[in-house]
Amino acid sequence: MDLEEMEAALSLLVDEMEGDQGDRHEIFMRLHQMLSTMRAEGLTVPEDLAELEKALSAEFEADTKG
């Protein structure tokens, strides 16, 4: 996936989250996977998306701890 495709896919994910479409956990997993791919390819991850990933990770971690 090239940078433009990655940016388009990330934009779609953010739109889905803002519109509350689908399962938030599924969206988080897709976001995490895409950002991991970007990191593996040496691409810079936008700070706002990295913060979103961190916040969602903490949210789901808290949910699993009850």
CB 45 within 8 Å of CB 38: yes
Buried b (16+ CB within 10 A) or exposed e, 15-24: ebbeeeeeee
Q: Retrieve residue 7's tokens.
A: 């940016």
**Mean pLDDT over the full length of the chain:** 83
Higher-pLDDT residue of 47, 60:
47
* Domain residue extents for the chain: 3-65
Threshold 0.85, pTM exceeds: no
- Dist CA 45 CA 24 (whole Å): 20
pLDDT at 21 over 70: no
Section 46-57 average pLDDT: 89
Percent of the chain with pLDDT over 70: 91
